[in-house]
Amino acid sequence: MIWNRLRGHAAQIDMFRRAVQRNRTAHAYSFIGPSGIGKRQVAAMIAQCLFCTKFDDTELDACGTCAACRQVAAGTHPDLLTIGCPTGKRELPLELVAGPPERRGREGLCHDLSLKPMSADRRIAIIDDAQTLNEESANALLKTLEEPPPGSILFLISSGADALLPTIRSRCQPVHFSPLAEDDVAELILELGWESDRDQARAAAQLSEGSLETARELLDPGLRKLREELHQRLGAIAKDPVGTADALVELVESQASDTPGQRQTAGWMLAFAVRQFRDLLERMGRGEAGNDAQVEQLLLRCDGDPKVAADRLVASIDRVVQADFHLQQMMPVPLCLAGLCDDLSRIQRGLLPLAG
């Protein structure tokens, strides 16, 4: 009943349902997968199913209307404990796990989980951003993981298996989550009202790598402007690489004033460039590119040979990926973009040996 609200992750939910039916639920699970795909939501929905008074646990479903369901939805269910890394912090504070110094062990998630349930027949804890647990917090959690209170279930939500400390990782049953399908992301964007234009929603979904969180960032007006201006600029790159590089640097600087922000913006720009080259390649492959000015120019420079044009697009994509690597290696943004534009111009004019 409630699961039709969720997109994707059917296999993971089935796995959990079977575990409940066999009375074989683990005491701790690590939900692992990219951020923004719904891992925490799945954990909260499982908790709702186990707390719902209208359904038996083995059905793993929830009515959405009983008092327990409403409390879970409102975040006020007394037996559902949730902590996560506070906004702006890099680590999940120890006091959320084990209480403040003066009340260590007498407050915090581990203590609360050990108390008798108030309205349900068990307590459930969700630790979001579990990859931000530092060693101290992880140690505080170990005893709970080793001797869990009867019936309790802990969900540790993490953006990567390697991101969890080994001591924690080895004590949780891992459940791996995949990115959402592009169609699901596009539909969710429309459903959530983040965007009403279907094409814009689809464009953001295509670039989101299956993450709703990334899609939301992509719908930011600044990034949208970046994507559209980049599209204009890329057409001029073969003729004027220096002018294009200058314009792109200016564009990046207009979006962010500090170096980390500019680096991030440049990263987005490179992701957009890869997508645009890929789009051209796909449209050429489908023979749909006849009226596209960029493809027309590209073909003109290749004596109308679509195979050569496709090779040059593939080489362009490789070069952009390389630029992204340089960016991650802390190459200054202007240097990175100048080198990229120069090489892209040469690739498109057939002056640079192509990869492979």
Q: CB-wise, 54 or 278, nearer to Zn ion?
A: 54
Q: Judged by CB under 5 A, does residue 63 bind Zn ion?
A: yes
Exactly one of 1, 6, 66, 331 binds Zn ion (CB under 5 A); which one? 66
What is the smallest separation between the CB atom of 277 and Zn ion, expressed in angstroms? Answer: 50
What is the smallest separation between the CB atom of 64 and Zn ion, expressed in angstroms? Answer: 6
Please choose, out of 44-52, 265-273, 302-310, 334-342, the segment that lies near Zn ion by the rule CB under 5 A.
44-52
Alpha-carbon distance of 344 to 319, in angstroms, equals 7
Exactly one of 35, 54, 134, 165 binds Zn ion (CB under 5 A); which one? 54
What is the smallest separation between the CB atom of 261 and Zn ion, expressed in angstroms? Answer: 44
Residue 32 sits at φ, ψ, to 5 deg, of -115, 135
What is the smallest separation between the CB atom of 142 and Zn ion, expressed in angstroms? Answer: 34
x-or-dash string of contact with Zn ion, 68-87, rule CB under 5 A: -x------------------
Q: Judged by CB under 5 A, does residue 45 bind Zn ion?
A: no
Please choose, out of 6-14, 57-65, 111-119, 300-308, the segment that lies near Zn ion by the rule CB under 5 A.
57-65
Alpha-carbon distance of 345 to 145, in angstroms, equals 57
Q: Are 97 and 108 in contact (CB under 8 A)?
A: yes
Q: CB-wise, 65 or 178, nearer to Zn ion?
A: 65
Please choose, out of 65-73, 118-126, 252-260, 331-339, the segment that lies near Zn ion by the rule CB under 5 A.
65-73
Rounded alpha-carbon distances, angstroms, from residue 219 to 34, 60, 73, 148, 209: 19, 35, 26, 42, 14
Q: Are 243 and 345 in contact (CB under 8 A)?
A: no
Q: Are 62 and 55 in contact (CB under 8 A)?
A: yes
Q: CB-wise, 69 or 189, nearer to Zn ion?
A: 69
Q: CB-wise, 119 or 173, nearer to Zn ion?
A: 119
Residue with tokens 């420079």: 301
The Cβ of residue 53 has, within 10 Å, a number of other Cβ atoms equal to 12
Q: Where are the alpha helices (DSSP H) in the chain?
A: 10-21, 39-51, 67-74, 94-98, 108-114, 135-146, 166-169, 182-191, 198-207, 212-218, 221-234, 241-255, 259-285, 293-301, 306-328, 333-348
Alpha-carbon distance of 227 to 268, in angstroms, equals 9
Please choose, out of 47-55, 81-89, 169-177, 288-296, the segment that lies near Zn ion by the rule CB under 5 A.
47-55
Q: CB-wise, 78 or 334, nearer to Zn ion?
A: 78
Q: Are 237 and 341 in contact (CB under 8 A)?
A: yes
Q: CB-wise, 70 or 301, nearer to Zn ion?
A: 70
Q: CB-wise, 77 or 202, nearer to Zn ion?
A: 77
| DSSP, res 291 | T
Exactly one of 44, 52, 133, 302 binds Zn ion (CB under 5 A); which one? 52
Q: Judged by CB under 5 A, does residue 1 bind Zn ion?
A: no
One-letter amino acid of 198: R
- Interacting residues toward Zn ion by CB under 5 A: 52, 54, 62-63, 66, 69
